[in-house]
């Protein structure tokens, strides 16, 4: 007795159609969720507390060394006595011509970072 060679292809075709149907239904559900997010302005309150020390360990040690005591960039200890908080904020926001890039710290975090750097002894 011979088997019909068309049966496997029909099964694959039916499986594909069912899969397309269910994925379409899933997409409609996702579209409704996206529409709800847009109605809310797409902004959910995510408040991450800015940690200057953690930020420095991630971003600044590449140029200023592991202990921020200098490397390719200058020593950051005692910076408050040398420059003052306003100058530190300016450097964080705008950078320097000596190689410090501006904009590494988000504008809303510049005050916290400057306070932490000024207190660094």
- Residue ranges for the known binding site for heme c are 60, 63-64, 100
101 forms bridges with which residues in the sheet? 95
Q: Which parts are annotated binding residues?
A: 60, 63-64, 100
Q: How far apart are CA 71 and CA 121, in angstroms?
A: 17
Residues 6+ apart with CB under 8 A from 9: none
Task: Report how far residue 106's alpha carbon sits from residue 113's, in angstroms, rounded to the nearest whole number.
Answer: 10
């Amino acid at each position: 007795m011979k088997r019909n060679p068309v049966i496997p292809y029909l099964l694959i075709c039916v499986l594909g159609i069912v899969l397309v149907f269910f994925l379409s239904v899933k997409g409609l559900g996702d579209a409704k969720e996206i529409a709800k997010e847009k109605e809310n302005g797409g902004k959910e309150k995510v408040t991450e507390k800015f940690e200057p020390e953690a930020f420095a360990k991630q971003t600044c040690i590449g140029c200023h060394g592991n202990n921020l005591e200098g490397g390719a960039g200058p020593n950051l200890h005692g910076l408050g006595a040398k420059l003052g908080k306003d100058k530190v904020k300016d450097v964080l926001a705008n950078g320097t011509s000596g190689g410090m890039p501006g904009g590494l710290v988000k504008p809303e975090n510049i005050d916290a970072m400057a306070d932490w750097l000024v207190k660094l002894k």
